Structure 1
């Protein structure tokens, strides 16, 4: 099945192979527990989806494996004399996979597209007032107020070809929440290091090296073909690696790390991810749809939330579920993200008796029942974490009924406000707390709170969050951020569990570092030559 830009891409690809000479071929089969949920680069703000998109599409600014921002489709950027205007110098000579030239028109089109109601990326551009084309390779972005952190918001905002989207009826963002399909969901035409050859959702995606990639010679780009396989079963994923069916596993099960490290036929690399794993509680509805308590919402009572926070035993989860491969946390901000504070990262004592007393004081001495929604193909040992939480909450009388689903269905429950109690993970590609606050805590609106499944709404907190996008004084901005976190830590809307660590495993001739955002750029993978 030929997809992407169609036959024109295939012809260009064949010509490029002749012009560049016979580059050494190395096919890499890349496996992880779940598939990208769409190829539409603006439809869903989800890490696995972005990880695949980064191979095909590119943003103006990209981050290296340690999180450092680097030029991509923008060669440089600076704040002008007007503190509300950023100027970006775009890379010249870049072409999309179908041969169309990349210009400022494509950036303006892509950003306007990303601001559409169906886009899950619109919050990242919420401060934008105007997009101004100076010339084909110069763009100015005017914001509603001074926003010194705008560039940090652009690292996952992928650029599409305006002409390609118009030609194929792909100018509108796929409406994932309502189950819509679209041309851009199954086809792609980026500027990135790999070209889409075929896409079978949930089964296999095949990419080939872009031999006319603008960055050739600046990055290894040593993989000639990339085959992406979602393999949900931990056991089957590792079996596929050991049998040679798979070359690179992005999410190694924690229980298999030790034996793989002892296998000479496997290279294992371990590193931190700037992603927290936590529980979300419906604190806003008058009644929980899945609870036996009627006429009121037990999660709306702060005493119940504090009791849950005490009952969740993070150290036991680290030891028994994660085999030591996690960092217990008392706040959902990962270390290294602006706004993180050791002062606020306080893990409550696992005090069951005090938790029971709080439950009784709140009017629930015998507890209550509720459904706990959990993904089973997204985070490291996600379903096992939820099973542990179910057992731990039973100690204080909360009878949690576990419903584990593939991430596509699970995420729809959260975004459509159909879950009372759920597990979620959140990475921070901007390395700034605003990304967490605006998505997870802000009152849910068309552009804010898009992942706030808790129904939490606090106008004062909203105003402080909104001020973070226009406060030019970084000292004052950071003070506001600390004040927000102090309020939210006391509110206990989410129950932090841990910071996730990641383990990659690969054939010994391959080499790539763990990406701190867990979005490895396979153009950086090196292939060791055999002796």
Structure 2
């Protein structure tokens, strides 16, 4: 009897251990694509980042740490040399070499890649030997290593074999082998991919690094409905929810078996406007573009009751800001950059009248409905606020897979965007979002297509200034010029509590990135 009891107990223990090694998690949307150079969007990047490595990575405090590069030297102000990790293999068994690094940086610099500005900022890669790469920069880059955290390294041979030497052109609905297949050097390997339904991964048994957690299998399920996502966590159907809806947070804190992991995300949410076309694509105004007038842009800003959005809609899970940098650190914590225009309907109406629109106008606002916390609800709230100054807004909310390709083609008159991640330096806001659209991915996310020569000059200068004190002044001046001209209407920075079953331990980073190799799942 004792032997049978011991055997049964051992079997139960083994069953618990096996079960505990699967992480089942969810959020409101799915990864856009498995091609790591095709869509620069957080969920997509964070899932791809479990399979593909970068040259340098982020630690638990978002510090720079070695990855596929073990050491690096700034030989001159415009030349960096990196030593690569030996004995690393891709998931298909082929060895990782300098050829893969050169190929990947060049691939990410392709015109179809939203990572182009970051890849170009790394300079021209050159193979020195199989385990050494140099990067020759055209100009000094004050955040070279931070840019190096953004480019995933792919197998040159595998990509070429599968006709994927160039990135998948997502916005034009191109399909390639890399859309649903992966071959990286990272801690997890793709097992199966069912877009918008279920994606499964397993631990890489030949991973070069040390995996701290116990997760052997990862099952990701997109669950669009907030109520269904919450119910799945409470019932134990999933172990972790990346984006619990704010109104459910108090209930989750009181639910046995569930815990809330609090944290602020480095991400600003804001509204952009077409400031280039002579006539908006989606508006009742014909023959001219009201958003070219800063008075109209400022009126819309003054009409935003940000405290109502924070308290009623976001349930306090938002930090209002007057900046669009992901963190106050981007503006060196300057209160003038963070300061919002006040909610002032009288001033807003006066500005609209001055601009020649005393009765307002009609316009379309495009928004995602499964990307940011309460994204569609925020857009609907803004529409109600702007109606008070006569601006009748038609909200068109779409899934991220539809929304982002539309916006990337500049097929918008007004739009919502969130910007953030691990890099808090203003360079990665100034170059992709605030500068005029140009070569090398510059201004790629300037979907309003505005052109401000003064802002361009300041941003360009700040991106190559080696003196930290001079650079700070240039960055601040650029951000203040952007705010003065109201090229975007800032809203808030997201506060992102995560929710998990009580037996799940995770590391909550400020870039809202779930790193699977740090996750421990205890017995259920």
Q: TM-score, normalised by structure 2?
A: 0.94
SS at match of 1:343: helix
Q: Match for residue 259 of structure 2?
A: 267
Q: Match for residue 321 of structure 2?
A: 329
Is the 8 Å Cα contact of residues 65 and 516 (structure 1) preserved in structure 2? no
Structure 1 residues 87-102: aligned runs within 5 Å: 87-102=81-96
Q: Distance in 1 between matches of 2:84 and 2:18?
A: 29
Q: Distance in 1 between matches of 2:306 and 2:127?
A: 51
SS at match of 1:56: coil
Q: Match for residue 415 of structure 2?
A: 422
CA 1:25–1:440 in 2, change beyond 3 Å: closer, same or farther? Answer: same
CA-to-partner distance for each residue in 1:450-493, whole Å, 9 max, x for gaps? 11111101233223322333222222222111111121111001
Q: Distance in 1 between matches of 2:384 and 2:77?
A: 53
Structure 1 residues 21-40: aligned runs within 5 Å: 26-40=21-35
CA 1:342–1:237 in 2, change beyond 3 Å: closer, same or farther? Answer: same
Q: How much does 1:127 deviate?
A: 3.1
SS at match of 1:402: strand
Q: Distance in 1 between matches of 2:18 and 2:233?
A: 26
CA 1:501–1:50 in 2, change beyond 3 Å: closer, same or farther? Answer: same
Is the 8 Å Cα contact of residues 328 and 338 (structure 2) preserved in structure 1? no
1:513 matched to 2:512: no
Q: Distance in 2 between matches of 1:500 and 1:307?
A: 24
Is the 8 Å Cα contact of residues 155 and 429 (structure 1) preserved in structure 2? no
Is the 8 Å Cα contact of residues 368 and 398 (structure 1) preserved in structure 2? yes
Question: After TM superposition, what 4+ stretches of structure 1 lie above 4 angstroms from structure 2?
Answer: 22-25
Q: How much does 1:67 deviate?
A: 1.9
Q: Match for residue 312 of structure 2?
A: 320
Q: Distance in 2 between matches of 1:65 and 1:329?
A: 26
Q: Distance in 2 between matches of 1:431 and 1:373?
A: 27
Q: Distance in 1 between matches of 2:515 and 2:241?
A: 14
Q: Match for residue 344 of structure 1?
A: 337
Q: How much does 1:85 deviate?
A: 0.6
Q: Which of 36, 48, 54 is 2:49 aligned to?
A: 54
Q: Match for residue 250 of structure 2?
A: 258
Q: Match for residue 503 of structure 1?
A: 497
Q: Distance in 1 between matches of 2:315 and 2:284?
A: 35
1:197 matched to 2:191: yes
Is the 8 Å Cα contact of residues 337 and 428 (structure 1) preserved in structure 2? no
Q: How much does 1:24 deviate?
A: 8.2
Q: Match for residue 405 of structure 1?
A: 398
Is the 8 Å Cα contact of residues 56 and 192 (structure 1) preserved in structure 2? yes
Q: Which of 90, 105, 115 is 2:109 aligned to?
A: 115
| Greater mean deviation of Cα atoms: 55-64 or 323-332 | 55-64
Q: Distance in 2 between matches of 1:496 and 1:130?
A: 35
Q: Distance in 2 between matches of 1:336 and 1:328?
A: 11
| Structure 2 residue ranges without an equivalent (≥5) | 1-16
| Structure 1 residue ranges without an equivalent (≥5) | 1-21
CA 1:182–1:418 in 2, change beyond 3 Å: closer, same or farther? Answer: same
Equivalent pairs counted in the alignment come to 506
Q: Match for residue 68 of structure 2?
A: 73
